[in-house]
Amino acid sequence: MNDRELLQSCLKGNKQAWAEFISRYTRLIYNYIYSVLSIKGRSASSDQAQDIFQELFTCLIKDNCKKLATYRGKNGCTLASWLRQVTINFTIDYLRKFKPAVSMDAQNEEGFSLAAVLPDLSAGAKEFVAREDNRKALRECIDGLELEEQYFLELFLNQELVLDEIKEHLKLSRGAVDMRKSRILEKLQDCFKKKGFLG
């Protein structure tokens, strides 16, 4: 049974299909929960992972499986790939309830930090970083990023992973990682400009 057939059977309430879904994807979901917990420096306790798993599964099946039904399999995206991204995003969102995801002052071993990138963008950037009200604006810009982009910043800044390590962790090519980094910086720059901090 392929992804789409399995999903359709699950959505119709087929118990055998649900058993197959759980058997096929439980380990994958747990692996990504533990991976995010580890990357974010959380002790990967089985209790917390189980709580996240239960909440995620509840999210997938509530309202007649509304979330699960959004899987379309476009551009060759497998159900496993889709669940991977959903799990990563859900776990980050779950952890965000307890702690902000990205430090603006953290610097990785490549010398990159959000605070450091600002002087390259305008002459008044140091003053921008120094003032607390502008830090709030920067936080809003970060919060406006997609969850996977915030996760990328978490890996790059707080966890101090180099781009090659991020490539391995996210199972992406180096070119895709470089492109994602550039896209995130462009989004932040655009946000700063809209808030009137850059010319």
pLDDT reported for residue 41: 64
Q: In whole angstroms, what is the distance from residue 12 CA to residue 91 CA?
A: 27
pLDDT reported for residue 197: 62
pLDDT reported for residue 111: 60
Which residues contact residue 167 at a Cβ distance below 8 angstroms, ignoring those fewer than 6 apart? Answer: 173, 174, 176, 177
pLDDT reported for residue 147: 74
What are the structural domains of the chain? 3-96 (1.10.1740.10), 114-194 (1.10.10.10)
pLDDT reported for residue 42: 62
Residues with pLDDT less than 50, the chain:
100-101, 118-126, 128-129
- Whose structure tokens read 């980050």? 92
Q: Answer whether 191's CB lies under 8 Å from 152's CB.
A: no
Burial class of 97 by CB neighbour count within 10 A (0 to 12, 13 to 18, 19+)? exposed
